């Protein structure tokens, strides 16, 4: 038996479903279907005509501000995967057409950062890759070309940042098309030895400060005038690769820790000095990362370097490169000022869990 449906909240008389009610229901269903089609059409038009950043912003605003609606009204193709893809597309759009300088690009974090930039904006990008080993830089350039094609122009450039005279003339020695630098990644750095005072070699002290501190500052001063010529007081990104060592000094690393603490102080002061501009000053501090870095620390003894990572799963250079590119790919008004990156087994400079 069909139960009556009250249309008046229970205060009036009951009525049965009638032909008129069924027709009304059918009309509402047709309107709902039409609304769904219009909604989907609108999103397709957005996808075709709107810049990627605006698509993503529209999606986010819709998710935050709209009241819940029946699932039939939600475009089925708007999935988390699509949103992630549009986010990546927005980042690619922000980096497209830029000129990026990466120091220490022949290996480790620098090499991976160069490759990650190329992958993110493969259609129109200029990369200036610097290091002391030109032949290795040429190998990196060939690898990038093989992976992404001719959309990324790569200039391998021999440069020792520890030599002020080389850095001083760096920009003027660049080909004209590479001089309008937009992003400087100060990655070049090293550590030598684990000696403790008073047994630290003077040569090691000098090379660490010359590379990690003076080299970074001199590169910044060489490129900064280019940034400051632009509108709104200046525009560009300075991304300094620091270290957990600059936050937490440890025994056997007093000089290296001192250099990275200096990088942190310089970075924070520079950010304040440039506050009235659109120049973003960013620091990325890795924790334990497996690179050739430890081999240099132990003067080429790979067995000692391998022992550092035994029982651990350290970060990879690619992990840090992704963070660097992410920071450079934010909206102009967004500054990832400072970030510390650990592997899951690390909680401090000397706080690591090793599997036995």
Domain housing 183: 88-352
Backbone angles phi, psi at 289, to 5 degrees: -125, 135
**Residue 342 known to be catalytic:** no
In a domain, 15, yes or no: no
Q: Which CATH number characterizes residue 194's domain?
A: 3.40.50.720
Closest C-alpha among 320, 325, 158 to residue 242:
320
In a domain, 12, yes or no: no
In a domain, 6, yes or no: no
Instruction: Determine which one of 98, 126, 153, 256 is catalytic.
Output: 256
Three-state DSSP string of 44-100 = HHHHHHCCHHHHHHHHHHHHHHCCCCCHHHCCCCCCHHHHHHHHHHHHHHHHCCCEE
**Residue 299 known to be catalytic:** no
In a domain, 41, yes or no: no
pTM of the entire structure?
A: 0.77
In a domain, 43, yes or no: no
Instruction: Determine which one of 146, 260, 264, 272 is catalytic.
Output: 260
Burial 8-27 (b: 16+ CB within 10 A, else e): eeeeeeeeeeeeeeeeeeee
Q: In tens digits, what is the pLDDT along the chain, a chain of 356 residues?
A: 445 444 444 444 445 545 665 666 666 666 666 555 554 444 444 444 444 555 555 555 554 444 444 444 455 555 666 555 666 789 999 999 999 999 999 999 999 999 999 999 999 999 999 999 999 999 999 999 999 999 999 999 999 999 999 999 999 999 999 999 999 999 999 999 999 999 999 999 999 999 999 999 999 999 999 999 999 999 999 999 999 999 999 999 999 999 999 999 999 999 999 999 999 999 999 999 988 777 777 777 777 777 777 888 999 999 999 999 999 999 999 999 999 999 999 999 989 998 87
The number of beta carbons lying within 10 Å of the beta carbon of residue 268 is 14
Token pair of 312, please? 């651990």
- Please state the domain count of the chain: 1
In a domain, 35, yes or no: no
In a domain, 1, yes or no: no
In a domain, 93, yes or no: yes
């Amino acid at each position: 038996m069909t139960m009556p449906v009250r249309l008046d909240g229970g205060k009036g008389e009951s009525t049965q479903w009638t032909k008129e009610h069924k027709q009304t229901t059918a009309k509402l269903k047709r309107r709902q279907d039409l609304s769904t089609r219009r909604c989907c059409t609108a999103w397709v038009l957005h996808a075709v005509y709107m810049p990627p950043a605006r698509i993503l912003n529209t999606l986010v605003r819709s998710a935050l501000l709209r009241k819940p609606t029946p699932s039939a009204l939600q475009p089925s193709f708007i999935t988390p995967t699509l949103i992630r893809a549009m986010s990546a597309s927005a980042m690619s759009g922000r980096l497209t057409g830029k000129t990026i300088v990466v120091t220490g690009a022949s290996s480790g974090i620098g090499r991976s950062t160069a490759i990650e930039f190329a992958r993110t904006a493969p259609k129109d990008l200029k990369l200036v890759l610097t290091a002391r080993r030109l032949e290795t830089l040429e190998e990196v350039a060939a690898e990038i070309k093989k992976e992404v094609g001719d959309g990324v122009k790569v200039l391998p450039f021999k440069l020792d940042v520890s030599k002020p005279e080389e850095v001083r003339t760096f920009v003027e020695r660049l080909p004209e098309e590479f001089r309008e630098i937009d992003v400087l990644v100060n990655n070049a750095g090293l550590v030598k030895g684990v000696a403790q005072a008073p047994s630290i070699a003077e040569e090691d002290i000098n090379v660490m400060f010359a590379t990690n501190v003076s080299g970074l500052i001199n590169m910044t001063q060489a490129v900064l005038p280019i940034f400051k010529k632009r509108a709104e007081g200046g525009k560009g990104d300075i991304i300094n690769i620091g270290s957990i060592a600059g936050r937490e000094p440890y025994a056997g690393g007093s000089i290296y820790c001192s250099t990275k603490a200096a990088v942190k102080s310089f970075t924070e002061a520079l950010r304040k000095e440039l506050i009235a501009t659109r120049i973003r000053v960013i620091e990325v501090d890795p924790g334990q990362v497996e690179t050739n870095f430890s081999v240099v620390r132990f003067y080429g003894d790979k067995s000692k370097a391998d022992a550092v990572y035994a029982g651990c799963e350290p970060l990879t250079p690619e992990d840090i490169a992704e963070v660097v590119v992410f920071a450079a790919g934010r909206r102009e008004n967004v500054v990832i000022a400072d970030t510390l990156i650990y592997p899951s087994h690390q909680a401090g400079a000397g706080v690591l869990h090793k599997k036995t």
